[in-house]
Amino acid sequence: MYQNENTKFCSANFIVISTIPILFFIGIFMGYIGLIPLNVPIHSLGVIGFIMFVFLLFTRHNANYSVCKMRSSYDDLEEKLNNELIANTLVIEGKKKSILKLENFLNNYYKDIRNDNFVSVASSIFPMLGILGTFIAIALSMPNFSVSDTKALDHEISILLNGVGSAFFASIYGILLSLIWTYFEKRGLSKIDHYFTQIKHAYETKLWSDEELLIYKYSQYDIKENKFIGALKDVFNIDLIKEINQQLDSSSKTLVEALEKLHTDKEALKAQQDIVHTIKEFNEATNSFEKTTKVFSAQLNNSLNRTFEKIDTEVGEIVIKLADFATHVSLESKEVQESIKRYHDMVANHTKMK
Q: Where on the phi/psi map is residue 144: left (φ > 0), alpha (ψ -120 to 50), or beta?
A: beta
CA distance 23 to 172: 14
CA distance 354 to 344: 16
The pLDDT tens digits for 142-175 are: 765 555 666 655 666 666 666 676 778 889 999 9
* 159: helix, strand or coil: helix
CA 163-168-172 angle, 5° bins: 155
Confidence of residue 217 (pLDDT cuts 50, 70, 90): confident
| Nearest by Cα to 141 from 213, 43, 239, 14 | 43
| C-alpha dist (Å) from residue 301 to 50, 295, 309 | 130, 10, 12
Say if residues 177 and 21 touch (Cβ distance below 8 Å).
Answer: yes
- Return the sign of the alpha-carbon dihedral for residues 72, 78, 83, 88: positive
Q: What kind and span of H or E run contains 279?
A: helix 238-353
- Residue 308, pLDDT > 90, answer no
CB–CB of 126/177 below 8 Å? yes
Single-letter amino acid, residue 233:
K
- The whole-angstrom separation of Cα 43 and Cα 137 is 6
Q: Is the pLDDT of residue 279 over 60?
A: no
Quote the CA–CA distance of 121 and 110 in Å, as a whole number: 20
DSSP helix/strand/coil, 91: strand
Separation CA 23–CA 48 (nearest Å): 12
For the chain, the straight-line distance linking the first and the last C-alpha, in angstroms and rounded, comes to 183
Rounded to whole angstroms, how far apart are CA atoms 245 and 132? 95
Cβ atoms < 10 Å from Cβ of 339: 9
Nearest to 172 by CA among 63, 47, 60, 64: 47
CA 193-117-20 angle, to 5 degrees, is 70
Mean pLDDT of the 176-202 span = 92
Per the CB < 8 A criterion, the answer to whether 55 and 126 are in contact is yes
Alpha-carbon gap, residue 217 to 128, rounded angstroms? 55
Give the gyration radius of the chain's Cα atoms.
Answer: 64
Is residue 94 classed exposed, middle or buried when 0-12, 13-18 and 19+ CB atoms within 10 A define those classes? exposed
pTM of the model: 0.55
Does residue 354 register a pLDDT over 60?
no
Of 192 and 317, the one with more pLDDT:
192
Find the length of the chain: 354
**Does the pLDDT value for residue 247 go beyond 50?**
yes
Higher pLDDT, 305 or 210: 210
Domain boundaries, the chain: 2-208
Interval 220-224 mean pLDDT: 61
3-state secondary structure (DSSP) of residue 148: coil
The pLDDT tens digits for 38-77 are: 878 888 888 899 999 999 999 989 999 999 988 888 888 8
**Which residue from 316, 318, 314 is spatially nearest to 306, judged by alpha carbons?**
314
Which stretches does DSSP call E strand in 35-101?
Answer: 89-92, 95-98
Helix (H) or strand (E) holding 296: helix 238-353
